[in-house]
Amino acid sequence: MPWKGRRLHRCKHIAAFLCLASFLGVLVFWFHEACQEGENFSPLADPSEGPRGHPGITQLSANEEPRGDPAGITQGSANDPGNFTQARDTLTPGPYPYVINEPNKCPVGKPPPFLVLLILTEAHEVEARNVIRQTWGNESLAPGHGIVRLFLLGVKGGEPGRLQQETLEAESLRHHDIVQQDFLDTYYNLTLKTLMGMNWVAVHCPRASYVMKTDSDVLVNTDYLVHKLLRPELEPKTNYFTGSVIRSHHPIRFFRHKYYMPREEYPGGRYPDYCAGTGYVFSGHLATDIYGASRSVPLLRFEDVYVGVCLARLGIEPTPPPGASLFNDQGLRYSGCGYNNMVTVHKLYPSQQLEYWHRMQSDKHDNSCAAAQQPPLTHYSGWDPLLMFYTLWQKSLNIC
């Protein structure tokens, strides 16, 4: 081999060795950091809100000191199944006082709604709520079947929170679709927000056929959801819970990751099967059952995992949707055939939701899309190589 060729060959080997050494160094550092279990780190601090306590335990309200647990949602043991019949019989308006409520959205004496939409939002997302009211959350989209729309919020502290609250209360008087309780509206309190929605349905709308929980950055194909997935001409399903089903997912113990789960909060090595929180649909009666189960299941920071734990306590497994791509939780570029053959698309700005909704209404009459069984998926980049390597490494070594 010529001298230049041998030198190039040697350089390639050195470069490969350095890359491997760097990768192993990152893994060693990651191993050391992950095994610290969050030392000098507040495990329930919202990265966007600063340090704070456990949601609903050490800081129940934005305006007052802890008051105990009148509804009992944190009582009981994770291994004690509890008395769900008694829980259903003693439902209360919730563990936190209502700031804004709409108890008459499902009036007695009128047919119950076919679908209740529980949409998690924050006070400042005025544009998103207005777009949803005009598009997929319009309560007149399924004539004769009935849709109820509710936006779920906690409260914000400080002067900005007070100004937002004034605007929110005026918005509530205008639209009558906002439900708010007195807990801090933070990322790790999404569990409380979801439980608030479950409790609202259980108390104020228990005869609803179906409920959907979703987020304000999700576009829901309401027509597909109602007429192709749920089908109001059929008897409502019981114990039905579907969405983007996540199976055999391991808790992430790397405490700097957004989805870090401390061992003291969830000591198990694997989550029960659950549906991604960007959008899941379930039988109306399950709102009562899940809220009842929550009274004997300690709170977790991730609402979708927590609801999965409650379902497991009830002996209910999520049902995979009839199409693997019906519930998108990653983000998706617009496609007429694709969007019209899906239930949810995640990670959309209000302007995108408005544009894509109108394009969907035009494209759904395109005969070339009628035979589409699976939408063409062109995802936005959501790949996390570091998380992938960490997960594979953690599974293979079964340590940390």
pLDDT digit string, tens, across residues 243-289: 999 999 999 999 889 899 999 999 999 999 999 999 999 999 999 99
Q: What pLDDT sits at residue 49?
A: 34
Q: Which helix (H) or strand (E) holds 397?
A: helix 385-397
Query: Is residue 82's pLDDT more than 50?
Result: no
What's the mean pLDDT when you consider all of the chain? Answer: 78
**Percent of the residues in the chain that have a pLDDT greater than 90, as a whole number:** 60
Query: Is residue 73's pLDDT more than 50?
Result: no
Contact 170, 87 (CB under 8 A): no
Contact 195, 288 (CB under 8 A): no
Q: What pLDDT sits at residue 365?
A: 78
Q: Which residue has the higher pLDDT, 229 or 331?
A: 229
Q: What pLDDT sits at residue 364?
A: 85
Q: What pLDDT sits at residue 219?
A: 98
pLDDT in tens, 50-60: 322 233 322 23
DSSP 8-state symbol, 367: G
For 315-343, b/e burial (b = at least 16 CB within 10 A) is: ebbbbbbeeebbbbbbbbebbbbbbbbbb
Mean pLDDT of the region 95-110: 92
Mean pLDDT of the region 138-142: 94
User: What angle, 0 to 180 degrees and rounded to 10, lies between the N-to-C axes of helices 303-313 and 285-294?
Assistant: 90
Q: Is 391 left (phi over 0), alpha (psi -120 to 50) or beta?
A: alpha
- 159 falls in which pLDDT band (50, 70, 90)? confident
Q: What pLDDT sits at residue 264?
A: 95
Domains and CATH numbers, the chain: 84-322 (3.90.550)
Residue-wise DSSP of 16-50: HHHHHHHHHHHHHHHHHHHTTTSTTS-TT-BTTTB
Contact 213, 310 (CB under 8 A): no
Give 33-39's long-range contacts (Cβ < 8 A, gap of 24+).
33/254, 33/255, 33/256, 34/253, 34/254, 34/255, 34/390, 34/400, 35/253, 35/400, 36/255, 37/253, 37/255, 37/262, 37/263, 38/255, 38/260, 38/262
pLDDT in tens, 6-58: 555 565 566 666 666 666 655 544 544 444 433 333 333 333 333 222 333 22
Contact 225, 323 (CB under 8 A): no
Q: What pLDDT sits at residue 63?
A: 39
**pTM score:** 0.75
Mean pLDDT of the region 187-198: 96
Q: What pLDDT sits at residue 20?
A: 64
11-15, 72-76, 220-224: segment of lowest average pLDDT: 72-76
Mean pLDDT of the region 188-213: 96
Nearest Cα residue to 179 out of 239, 120, 256? 120
Show the tokens assigned to 176. Answer: 């009558």
Instruction: Lay out the sheet containing 147-155: strands in order across.
Output: 98-100, 178-184, 147-155, 115-120, 210-215, 274-283, 241-246
Q: What pLDDT sits at residue 121?
A: 98
Q: What pLDDT sits at residue 149?
A: 98
